[in-house]
Chain A
Amino acid sequence: GEDVEQSLFLSVREGDSSVINCTYTDSSSTYLYWYKQEPGAGLQLLTYIFSNMDMKQDQRLTVLLNKKDKHLSLRIADTQTGDSAIYFCAEIRNYGQNFVFGPGTRLSVLP
């Protein structure tokens, strides 16, 4: 099947905003997700958005969804060194049968 796409690397300065982008493939995906993986750790669900929403905000996190372009983004405001991690977007395909991850974006936060 087609891949979920993300840019692999992103570097930002501490205090700036980070924007991580994702392109997904299944227009029938009802939920889209962002997961965070810190070094040596498992995956942590950061946030998710229902497909009938354009935007969801949760403290420093803002998720934007463009269904027409199948584009999902995660914005982290006031990025901190503790935000350094790999961020995976994920979609549910085939009406819930398959949960598919993007390749992950490695976010580096510079002091």
Chain B
Amino acid sequence: SAVISQKPSRDICQRGTSLTIQCQVDSQVTMMFWYRQQPGQSLTLIATANQGSEATYESGFVIDKFPISRPNLTFSTLTVSNMSPEDSSIYLCSVDKGNSGYTFGSGTRLTVV
């Protein structure tokens, strides 16, 4: 099964700044997914990242706010841009293991002050 290393694990950032979150997978995967978990909420899919093409964003999420890179089949980054306190959440990357479910990174707990 895939192992995902996600970093940073947590950060406290000033409003108006940007944070880039990295996910490294120990095997090649076609698609990587980025989720947001707001405090006390379930997970919401932000976007799907495919290698060699632009990410596909879900309704309510835009590339200018959450730019994503996918330079190869084992790595992706999500940037949270021009942050505000409303962006305080846990951000998780995930890969599809096929029918046996998805594997998640350990998450990045972001606090914007």
Task: Give residues in A with beta carbon < 8 Å to B.
Answer: 30-31, 33, 35, 40-45, 48, 50, 88, 98-99, 101-104
CA separation between A88 and B43, bound complex, in Å? 9
Whether B101 pairs with A101 at a CB distance below 8 angstroms is: no
Number of residues on chain B facing chain A (CB within 8 A): 19
Whether A45 pairs with B102 at a CB distance below 8 angstroms is: yes
Partner of B106, one of A42, A45, A88: A42
Which 7 residue pairs of A and B lie closest in terms of their CB atoms, listed nearest first?
A42-B106, A43-B104, A42-B107, A45-B101, A103-B42, A42-B104, A101-B42
In the complex, chain B residues 82-103 whose Cβ is within 8 Å of any chain A Cβ: 92, 94, 97, 99-103
Whether B43 pairs with A101 at a CB distance below 8 angstroms is: yes
Cβ contacts under 8 Å, B104 to chain A = 35, 42-44
CA separation between A30 and B100, bound complex, in Å? 11
Whether A31 pairs with B42 at a CB distance below 8 angstroms is: no
Q: How far is the CB of B19 from chain A (nearest CB, A)?
A: 17
- Given contacts A99-B45, A103-B42, A104-B42, A40 and B92 within 8 Å (CB-CB): no
- Given contacts A31-B101, A33-B101, A99-B102, A41 and B107 within 8 Å (CB-CB): yes
Q: How far is the CB of B48 from chain A (nearest CB, A)?
A: 10
CA separation between A40 and B108, bound complex, in Å? 9
